[in-house]
Each structure stands twice: as C-alpha cells, then as structure tokens.
Structure 1
Amino acid sequence: MTTRDDHAEHRPVTAGTLAHRVPDLGGLELLLAVARVGSLGGAARELGITQPAASSRVRSMERQLGVALVDRSPRGSRLTDAGALVTDWARRIVEAAEAFDAGAQALRDRRDSRLRVAASMTIAEYLLPGWLLALRAQRPDTAVSLLAGNSASVAERLLADEADVGFVEGLTVPTGLDSAVIAHDRLIVVTAPSHAWARRRRPLAAEELAATSLILREKGSGTRQVLDTALGGLARPLIELSSTTAVKAAAVSGAGPAVLSELAVREELAMRRLIRVPVDGVTLARELRAVWPTGHRPAGPARDLLTLTRG
C-alpha cells in the first residue's frame, strides 16, 4: 500500500534556495562520468572516490530531485530516461562552472602579478628590503612597488586602495584598519661623539630629554608618536625632518641629539659615529605592525609577504 508520505519522499523540493534544490557540482560531475564510462564503479575510479561513496552521492541526488537517475544491476549501471535528461542539463552547468573557475583564476593571476606595499620609514629602510628579496625568490613574476612615508600616510594609502598591505610603527592602529604585530623595536637616544651628552656618566633623566630640543621626525610619524606619548610632550624641535636617514645624518653631523630606532643606527653605533645615551624613567619600546583594511585579510603575494615577516 502506498501512503501519502511515500509520494512525498519522491516529490521535488520547491522551497528554499537553489543551493538546497540543485545537486552540487561533485554530484553532477559524477553523473556525467557515469554517462561517459557506462558504470558507477568506473565513474568512481575516474573521479578518485570509492564506489560506496559514489552510490551514496547518487542516492542523495535522487532524493533531492525526487526522480531515479541510475538503474543498478549485476551487469552494471545505466542512466534512466530522467537521468539522461538531468545529465544533459548537468553538462551545461559543469561547463558554466568551468568558465567561472577560469575567470576566477584569471582574477587571481592579475592580483598575483603585482604587490603594492606602503610602509613607514624605519620599516621601509631597514626591514622591508630583506623581506622583499625573500618574496622575490618565492614569486619572481610578481612586480612589487614600495610607497614609503610616515604611519599616517600608510593608513591613507590603504584606505584609498593605493596599497595592498602596509607596515606602521605607531602606538595605535588607525581607524578602518586591522593589524598584526610582526616585530618589536626600541627607540634610543643618540648623539655625535662631540656632543656633551656623549660624555655623560649618569643616564639622562626623562624630564631632561622632554625639555631638550631634538632632531625629530615630522608629525604623523610612528617614531615621533611613541616618543611624544612616552615623555608626555616634547620641546620645540631643533630640526624636523621627513625621513629616518635624514635625522640620522643630522645627528652624525653634530647638529644635536636624536631619538631613533635601534634598527637604524646599528652600523653608526658600531663605528662610533653615534653614541648611545642611556635614559632613566621612560620605556621607548614599540610594536611594529602589518596593517590592512578592516575585513580584507591579505591574500596572494601580500599574504606571503606577511608570512615572511614572521620567519
């Protein structure tokens, strides 16, 4: 005796989204393989799945569509009339999916052909060259452009879609950006050997540093932001310059004391072209961060570059 529920089991589902009403691509590819090789076992081998898995997938499609698709017998499997018709439709869907996949690959290839990096000055000058050389070894066909500026300008470029990934040195992450810490750095006070601070026997007090006119980076730089926050304010700059290299050169020339990243002055300290001045009462450590627009996690070359920064 046939019940109402027996009919309902084979009735096509008409509600819900297409994703619930149309078999997935794996099932459609299996159906095409059955039509091509003439057996469910052969189709399973061609697609690299087990025969039980293939049988289960066919049964799932039959329940979903409400029609029998494959007749199974000891002699093999063949498509039913409905199965042949569904297979014809499936062929068009799979061809469209292949075209979609080719288009998506073309988009990935275009994305992967270039990488736009924006970085604050210390990172751009002392860390990124090594990272980019390593990236080139991995992705020789990717053209890389580097836009160097202060931390504020890095944020502006990312938010204007002028860069794919950025690197900053400040204390805070600009609004609209997500971030990850990639390294740690410390600012130190340096002077030329001829400066009076180079002959000090006691550490410099934080209050004296704050009250001294220094050679400084411009406003908006991560270095200046960290220093200003740590000291609770700065005296009027002795000189204000727009790059780490320029600040370092001015300090080496004897123009006055400066506060710079340890990364930037290793060579000058080793050669005693600059002298480190100890400071008491203040910590000038900072985090170096990778940044990107909120909700747009780096992909392709940008993702690979981030991996290299943590290597």
Structure 2
Amino acid sequence: MPLPPLVSDLTGFDLLLSVARLGSVGRAAQEHRVSQPAASARLRRLERTLGLTLLHRGPRGSTLTAHGALVADWARAALDAAAALAEGVGTLRTAAEGRLLIAASQTVAEYLLPGWLVAIRAGHPTLTVALQAANSAAVAALVLSGDADLGFVEGPDLPAGLHASPVATDRLVAVVAPGHAWTRRRRGIPPSELASTPLVAREALSGTRRALEAALRTHGLDTLAPPLLELSSTTAIKHAVAAGSGPAVLSSLAVTTELAAGTLVEVPIPGVRLERSLRAVWPTGHQLSGPAHDLYLIARRRPQ
C-alpha cells in the first residue's frame, strides 16, 4: 500500500534524531554532510508537513519540544526498520553479484565464452559462473524462465519476451573429409545440391541448423534432406565427418584447427550468404546489471 504523505520521506526524521542526540542543528548537518541552512530548511519543512513544532531553537543549540520528543521516539523504530531493509537488500545484491548464471549455444559456449570468462574474472575475481550449454531454443527458454541471468544464441529466431543484442559475427562453412568427392569440385557445389544432400547435423532446434535452413530459404529451398546422422555436439560431428561419414555445415569458429591441419576441407557454396549474428539475450524490459552487464560488454568488445 502507498505510504501516508506525512511519513513518505524519512530523511527529515533522521535529521531530527541527530539533533536530539547532538543538541545542535549545525552538528546534525555536519553528520549528514549537508549545510546548516539546508538542514534547517529540511527540519522546518518537516514541521510544516506534520503541523507540529518539533524544536526549540536557541543561541546555544536546539532541543526537542514535547511533540518533537514523541515524534523522534516513534521515528526511531521506522528508521531502524529502514536500515534493516537496506542491509538485507544489500546482502541479497552482494550474493546475487557473486554468482552468474549463463546459458549459451554450443558454438558460443565452446569457442567464445572461455575467453570472455577469463576477461570478466579480472574484474570480478570472486565471481562464481555457472554455464549451461544447450541449443538456441533451450537457451531462450532458460532465460525466459529466470534460470539464466544472460543467454547467448546463434539461431535466427527468438520467442516473444526476449531482447536480443548482437555481440559477434560468425560464418557457416560446409566441410567434408579430405577424400570426399566434393573436394574435387573447385567451384564448389550449388545450394540445391547442399539442400538435397543428407548431412551430419545437430538436432532440429540447434542454432546452426536453423541458420542454414534460413540461408537456403532465400534461394527457394524450403527443406533440407533428412540428416545422415543427427549428433548432439559439434565435436562429435567433426569426428564423424573426418571419418568419412558425410558432409556437415558448421561454424567457422569450430573448424579452424581442423581446416589448418587438413583433417577437414571447406567446400564453397557460391551465392549463399552464410554469415550470421551471435546475440546476447535477456528478458524484454529487464536492465542488465552487475556481472551480467559486464560480461555483455566484454562479449561486444572482445575480438573473435
């Protein structure tokens, strides 16, 4: 319920208690780090609000009137309660800022977040971070439910209720084993062939798979061939492709080492825009603060 107007501002009552204890408006003003005229004005405003004379003012100091003594006695309990409230909220904030719950898609969790977390620990050395890696749809659900303070997704679509802000860019690449027939196609393969070829892929709700579907949809290719294999991790997909199971489309961040070593080979897909935005997500209308806000800023500024 709303506070009654007579007691909606406790500052004047706090000043009155200081005058009662110190015997002087001037000394009370010093304790509250305000000027004496400002303290006097605040006390007179309190008297006008209450319709009571609270102080006897004299050349040797100020003393409380009978009404002032009663008001001060009643106010003391309210101010003690306000101090307890402030201390409790402060304790909760300290505890909340000591633990950060993050949900991130596989690509971000494996290839970007480790560097981001090293950076945030420099500013928050006692911070405890709990990371849950999942597909983009699951990340969105964790953030919406409040089970994650901040999420990072790679998929193109998001449910209602989430605010999204780009933090990095990524490029999808088609990869095969060194002996695959596509490695002899110097000009690459057309989008239609990619769409009709069974791939080694993540589950249907993964951000990588949905981003590929969205890219091919711009070429009038509304469906992909059923997956050759459907695996739950990028590492498992890379091993399967390198063993010769079939092609895959993966984040360029995930295959840098394998492409350099020659265990995987990139196959061009001319005309298909496979760049995508990696985004931080949090509930709409919510303002990031503390370590969550700091991590978001690190993700935006840190080079990939």
Asked if structure 1 preserves the Cα contact closer than 8 Å seen for 2:103 and 2:152, the reply is yes
Matches within 5 A, 1:1-311: 17-18=2-3, 20-232=5-217, 233-311=223-301
The one-letter code sitting in structure 1 at the alignment partner of 2:227 is P
Indicate if the aligned counterparts of 2:176 and 2:247 stay in contact, CA closer than 8 A: yes
Give the CA deviation at 1:227.
Answer: 0.5
Letter in 1 for 2:257: E
Distance 1:85 1:79 in 2: 9
CA shift for structure 1 position 100: 0.8
Please list every run of 5 or more consecutive structure 1 residues that lacks an aligned counterpart in the other structure.
1-15
Q: Secondary structure, in 3 states, of the residue corresponding to 2:255?
A: helix
Cα distance in 2 between the residues matched to 1:75 and 1:177 = 63
- Aligned counterparts of 2:57 and 2:119: Cα–Cα separation in 1: 56
Measured after TM superposition, the shift of residue 111 of structure 1 is 2.1
Aligned letter for 2:48? R
Matched pairs, number: 296
Letter in 2 for 1:287: S
Structure 2 unaligned segments of length 5 or more: list them: 218-222
1:124 deviates by 0.9
The separation in 2 between residues aligned to 1:237 and 1:248, in whole angstroms, is 15
Task: Report the RMSD for the aligned CA atoms in angstroms.
Answer: 2.2
Q: Distance in 2 between matches of 1:179 and 1:66?
A: 53
- Aligned partners of 1:23 and 1:64 also within 8 Å: no
Which deviations, in whole Å up to 9, do the C-alpha atoms of 1:188-227 show, x marking residues without a partner? 2222222232233214322222222222111000100010
Residue 128 of structure 1 aligns with an amino acid whose one-letter code is: L
Residues 72/289 of structure 1: CA separation in 2 closer, same or farther (3 Å cut): same
Of 60-69 and 108-117, deviating more is: 108-117
What is the Cα deviation at residue 95 of structure 1? 0.5
Whether contact under 8 Å (2:166, 2:300) holds in the other structure is: no
- The AA in structure 2 aligned to 1:162 is D
Partner secondary structure for residue 279 of structure 1: coil
Say which SS state the counterpart of residue 160 (structure 2) adopts: coil
Q: Secondary structure at the match of 1:189?
A: strand
> Contact 1:185–1:287 at 8 Å: present in 2 too?
yes
Q: Deviation of residue 129 (structure 1)? A: 1.3
TM-score with structure 1 length normalisation?
0.86
TM-score normalized by the length of structure 2 = 0.88
CA offsets, 1:130-159, max 9 Å, x none? 222223333333332221111122223334
User: After the TM superposition, which of the residue ranges 271-280 and 167-176 deviates more from structure 2?
Assistant: 271-280
8 Å contact from structure 1 (residues 22, 64) kept in 2? no
* Alpha-carbon contact 1:204-1:279 (below 8 Å) kept: yes
Answer with 231-240 or 106-115: which moved more: 106-115
1:276–1:159 Cα change, 3 Å:
same
State the distance in 2 between where 1:21 and 1:285 align.
Answer: 61
